[in-house]
Amino acid sequence: MRDRILAASRSIFLDEGLDALSMRRVAQEVGISAMTIYIYFENRQAIVLALLREGLALLEHRLVEATKSDDPMSRIDDLSKAYLDFAEEHPRYYGAFTCPVEMHAELDVDSATALAREYCDALSPLRKTLVSMFPETGVADNRLVAIVSAIHGFASLRGHISS
């Protein structure tokens, strides 16, 4: 039943966004009472957190798959493209990860902080590659911020600029 609740929640989230996700709506989709959901999830926030963690797992898997090259510069290119493709293919997840206002509106401070850490962990393939290239303290993290910022810019502009 937990999986069915999560599947219905995922469908609503991916099709319509987090605003459309309510316990009543999920219950209707699954064919159960709204109160039954509380047996499996403490509250709506627990469902949102489970969904966003699924998205982080997708992102991390995509990035790990992009680390096949032995050449660090090629790996950076592959990781950047994988991240950009993830943003395009999963705009709801990407938007939740990169829009703190939306995430903080949905989650309490502790959960939002934990999810932000998990987002950083998902980026670890990119960070590890940068550390191998720039072992000096702090340099890799500065480059990581620059690369992720550039990717975010490209992701935001994709579809808004003619080729």
Q: What is the CATH number of the domain that holds 97?
A: 1.10.357.10
Same domain, 3 and 64: no
Question: Per the structure, how many domains does the chain have?
Answer: 2
**74, part of any domain:** yes
pLDDT at position 107? 86
Same domain? For 84 and 149 the reply is: yes
Residues 95 and 153 in one domain: yes
Regarding whether 74 and 1 lie in a shared domain, the answer is no
Q: What is the CATH number of the domain that holds 35?
A: 1.10.10.60
Amino acid making up residue 51: L
Sign of CA dihedral 92, 93, 97, 101: positive
Is residue 30 in a domain?
Answer: yes
Tell me whether residue 162 is in a domain. Answer: no
Q: Could you tell me if 93 and 122 lie in one domain?
A: yes
pLDDT score, position 137: 86
Q: Residue 30: give the domain boundaries.
A: 1-41
User: Token pair of 139, please?
Assistant: 């340099």
Same domain, 14 and 60: no
Backbone Cα Rg of the chain: 18
Identify whether residues 100 and 121 lie together within a single domain.
Answer: yes
Query: Do 64 and 14 sit in the same domain of this protein?
Result: no
**Same structural domain, 110 and 137:** yes
pLDDT on residue 163: 45
Within 10 angstroms of residue 16's Cβ, the number of other Cβ atoms is: 12
Please tell me whether residues 9 and 53 are part of one structural domain: no
User: pLDDT by residue for the chain (163 residues), tens digit each?
Assistant: 999 999 999 999 999 999 999 999 999 999 999 999 999 999 999 999 999 999 999 999 999 999 999 999 999 999 999 999 999 999 999 988 887 666 667 788 898 889 889 999 999 999 999 999 999 988 999 999 999 999 999 988 876 554 4
Q: In the chain, which residue ranges form alpha helices assigned H by DSSP?
A: 2-16, 23-30, 34-40, 44-65, 72-89, 91-98, 100-106, 109-122, 124-133, 139-157
Question: Which pLDDT score is estimated for 109?
Answer: 87
Give the pLDDT score at 24. 97
